[in-house]
Structure 1
Amino acid sequence: MSLPTCFSVPLLGCLLALPLRAAENQPAAAKPDQNSGWVLVTPRHAKETVLLDSHGKEAHVWPANCEAAGSARLHPDGSILRLGRMPLPAPFDKAGLRGGRLQIIGWDGKVEWDFLDAVGDHFAFGDAIRLPNGNVLTAVLEYKSRQECEALGRAGDAVTDAGLYFPGLMEFKPNGKNSGLPVWKWSLADHVFQGHHPSLPHYVYPGEKAGRVDVGVKSHLKGPVWLQPLEIDYHPQEDLVLMVMGGTGEVWVIDHSTTLAEAATSGGGKRGRGGDLLVRWRGPKPAPGMEQKSVVLSAEWTPVEGGALGMNVLRMDGSPATTTVESVRLEKDSFGVSGLDLVLRDRTAPAGNGEASMLGVLPTSFSFDPGSKSVVLTEGLRGQIRFTGATGQWAHKNERGGVKMKILRGASTGQECCGNQAQATGSTAPRTGGPVPAALPPPQKVEEVQTAPTAKARLYGPDLLDRPPSV
């Protein structure tokens, strides 16, 4: 498996009391003081999902019949919802992406729902969550042809005949063991603006259109993989969906209270703004003249005091990059950011170490339990899980699903993170009769390493499971 030469989001919640059917084989009871929380680990290249207690000890394993394609979710009855990997149909079959299969697996390992959501116009991708009404909300990638992209205002030289995959959301009502009825949909394709063709809809130049995304963004990525939904989370009281968007490095907020028709417009729903984005945020605005280097990697809803909304975010900022977990306050009416508090400052990327940057010395996702104030950081490519909480600190190294990856060693400072390539100021050829040039970086070489990547590890409070397993 070949990887790019820069650090990237991995190819890479709100805790719900879900009304789920009781499992046939419930977990056995445990003493309350044995455990102060649960960590759900999803190896990317293995078929098992693993439950750890708050000391990092393995407590349970769910088998499956396919590899994972995203992070799993734990339910009170001991079942899990997972996004699985399946062979994708055209036009998605050549892009090297994973997804398309939604599964609910009981504590006893029995498959309760196995729905193949991969068709010619979309497939389930990135993340999925079960809503309080029992429906499943999944992020998707939706296919738009070259002609459709150009009709939306994408420049002809910024798209190929393979088209583009637009991020979106779909909600399904499980219908039997192997099917789901679509009941709601949101697509970014309905909420773009463009500055390329004055004769096409939603033309704005120069500038922005509130609640919409420039269809020309990332024009150097000619497709089809363009923007990728990495995580979603659901706020049950406010009926809002949070989405972390790879490609822009932003967190988006979408009104789920819209009807199916309203979700494709700029009107309707509780906020009167239809499916337009209520929030687009990637960090505090930089000082005038400074480059925005902040990127949101992971986010979850969290309770905050007062009448505001709260998000916890894992953000990477600066060069070399530093990762922090922060609590962001959003005003309910305007959805503007009114506060930013530090929860945890983690690490700064080491310079000049290709292996360190590629294999995840910096975390790629996080999960936070507001009750215990515990936090879990996932270094996805390395498969490393780091826990900090009331029971102390520990690290768990995933050993399931080992793969070989190719990395570049010998990256120079400024090249180890975020695609921030050093800018050449002239020829690097040796000069004669002049000053000695600065030392060149060490030559890069490709090496193969063994690792066992994971998706986001999710942290849950000790009282989530109806009958916790013995640990």
Structure 2
Amino acid sequence: MRIFLAILFSVLLSDPFEGYTLITNMGGGGQGGGGNQTRYSHLIDNNQNIINSWTHETAPASIAYLTKDSILYVPCKIQNGGGGQGGGPSGGRFKKMDWEGNIIWDYTLPTNVCIPHHDIAVLPNGNILAICSETKSQEEAINAGRENLDGSMTLDMIVEIRPEENNQATVVWEWHFWDHLIQDINPNLSNYGVLNEELGLLDINIQSGGGNQNQGINDWNHCNAISYNELFDQIVLSARHMNEIYVIDHSTTIEEASTNTGGIYGKGGDFLYRWGNPQNYNRGDNSDQILNAQHGINWIPEGYPGEGNFILFNNNHENNSSAVLEFIPPIDENGNYEVITGESFGPETYSWIHQSNFYSNTQSGAFRLPNGNTLITSTAEESVFEVSEFGNEEWVYEGELRTARAIKYPLDYLENNSLLGDVNNDQLVNVVDIINIVNMVLINDYQVNADLNEDGQINVIDIVTLVNIILEN
């Protein structure tokens, strides 16, 4: 009895979000994903039991994403070994895998289109947004107003890939930084303008920065994360070397995306919003810079605490100290971003911060969870942990780890893998499911697939029903 009470007391005191964490191991050996570690994606519960596992013969370029229909989308390297263009983890191969680990779609983007690297975002229709890089010659860059250039210039872009049958795909949309540049040095060039008046454009003469990765013009932007907002049909990008995040309109055509007109918001492919380093557009100085080598930008989903806000991992928040930041964009109900004339895009600072003893100069990220906790990955330290709104550590992953970011999904996230009574979605109905329901009764929790008699509550009737299901099988 004492043991039971002690266990119950500890459960009530701790409050990790009950869900499944997806960890994609890139194989170790630095950003390029080399090394001899096993390359896999594991879906685990809070006790680190493996619910499902997928193996990868070539190293993931970043993290995998699991959709509600149990399909795993994986950006991969074309072959193992080596790093990526500009020092980042490059890919080029995209896979879809079913729950059983079978590859159901396998496509390699031709290198003459672009060089994919880092992150992807899976759209509701199954298309894939991929970060890519493209290279412009020295002559092209100089003709666009780049000063003091010795060699070519590599910039980032986005492609939207539509998977098709027989391992084929079509690029159905694209966006390029190259189409949205400005300079204030040579008035004879077409992109000449006033930086603090053209906030939707990027100064081509910004000196590349961002932590210790001094790749300069060979990796000018170093975009490392991409996220999609279905409500507003917008995309957000994190550019490490710019120390900024950018929001663009996805509703444009390919043609409109290369201009400053068209789309829902009437601005074509120009930035709708930017944040983190206003000195990039001459509306601030060093003291106004908040972001430094950041990663993992994403919108907090609808229905979660902080819904609609941005959350990211600010790698070099202070010397040898990282932080997770949440900030509230100045957006109206129609998806338009407000900015006061002469001032930088708000907010002036973040609305929530978690900063303790973690530090990673590379990769990393954070995701808000439905109960208000935040799942944090500190890649360089090979650490994944969950903290409450008040900064209390609620859950820690212990094990082999080389991942850019971990993601945690609700227990009822998957749609097509449910067996009656399979409360933990491990494709088995057994005593573990009984224990899960008992725990829900003890802490007055509710989970749809545990309500076996569908009466809107979890109680002893559901336990008895599950016991009968097991006995009948």
Show the 5 A alignment for 1:311-322.
311-315=310-314, 316-319=316-319, 321-322=321-322
- Which position in structure 2 is the counterpart of 1:269? 263
Structure 1 unaligned segments of length 5 or more: list them.
Answer: 1-33, 350-356, 400-451
**1:388 counterpart letter in structure 2:** V
Could you tell which deviates more after superposition, 339-348 or 202-211?
339-348
Write the letter of the residue equivalent to 2:101. G
3-state secondary structure, aligned to 1:463: coil
State the shift of 1:205 in Å: 5.4
User: Given the alignment of the two structures, is residue 290 of structure 1 paired with residue 284 of structure 2, yes or no?
Assistant: no
Q: Name the counterpart of 2:162.
A: 173
**Residues 179-188 or 97-106, more deviating:** 97-106
1:39 aligned residue (9, 14, 21)? 21
Structure 2 residue aligned with 1:82: 74
Alignment of 1:126-141 (within 5 A): 126-141=118-133
Cα pair 1:69 1:126 within 8 Å, conserved: yes
Deviates more, 1:326-335 or 1:273-282: 326-335
Question: Corresponding residue for 1:215?
Answer: 204
| Contact map agreement 1:47 1:63 (CA 8 A) in 2 | yes
Aligned position for 1:381: 380
Establish whether residue 346 from structure 1 lines up as the match of residue 345 from structure 2: no
Q: Structure 1 196/44 Cα, relative in aligned 2: closer, same or farther at 3 Å? A: farther
Are the counterparts in 1 of residues 107 and 168 from structure 2 also a CA contact under 8 Å? yes
Matches of 1:324 and 1:35, distance apart in 2? 18
Name whichever structure is richer in helix by fraction: 2
Distance 2:22 2:173 in 1: 28
How far the C-alpha of 1:94 sits from its partner, in A, is 8.5
Aligned match of 1:426: none
CA spacing shift, 1:118–1:164, aligned 2, 3 Å: farther
Higher relative contact order (CA 8 A, sep 6+): 1
* Per-residue deviation, 1:329: 3.2
Tell me what 2:395 maps to: 394
Higher percent of residues as strand: 1
Paired with 1:323 and 1:462, the residues of 2 have a C-alpha distance of 28
Give distance in 2, aligned partners of 1:107 and 1:78: 6
Report if aligned partners of 2:93, 2:107 keep a CA contact under 8 Å in 1.
yes
What are the within-5 Å matches in structure 2 for residues 114-263 of structure 1? 114-155=106-147, 157-160=148-151, 163-204=152-193, 207=196, 209-218=198-207, 221-263=215-257
Task: Decide whether the 8 Å contact of 1:383 with 1:397 is kept in 2.
Answer: no
Q: Distance in 2 between matches of 1:290 and 1:455?
A: 29
1:115-157 deviation per Cα after TM superposition (whole angstroms, max 9, x unaligned): 10141241221111221122111111122222221222112x3
Residues paired across the two proteins, number: 371
Give how far 1:320 is off: 5.5
Q: What's the Cα RMSD here?
A: 3.4
**Amino acid of the structure 2 residue aligned with 1:100:** G
Q: Is the 8 A contact 2:86 2:219 kept in 1?
A: no
CA distance in 2, matches of 1:288, 1:169: 29
- Relative to structure 2, which stretch is displaced further, 314-323 or 130-139? 314-323
The TM-score normalised by the length of structure 2 is 0.70
User: Helix, strand or coil: the match of 2:287?
Assistant: coil
- The alignment partner of 1:261 has SS state of helix
Give the fraction of aligned pairs with identical amino acids, expressed as a percent: 24
**Aligned match of 1:100:** 92
Q: Structure 1 CA distance, aligned partners of 2:230 and 2:298? A: 13
Partner of residue 334, structure 1: 337
Paired with 2:250 and 2:326, the residues of 1 have a C-alpha distance of 25
Q: Is the 8 Å Cα contact of residues 300 and 307 (structure 2) preserved in structure 1?
A: no
1:402-417 matches, cutoff 5 A: none
Seen in structure 2, the aligned counterparts of structure 1 residues 154 and 339 have a Cα distance that, compared at 3 Å, is closer
SS of residue matched to 1:223: helix
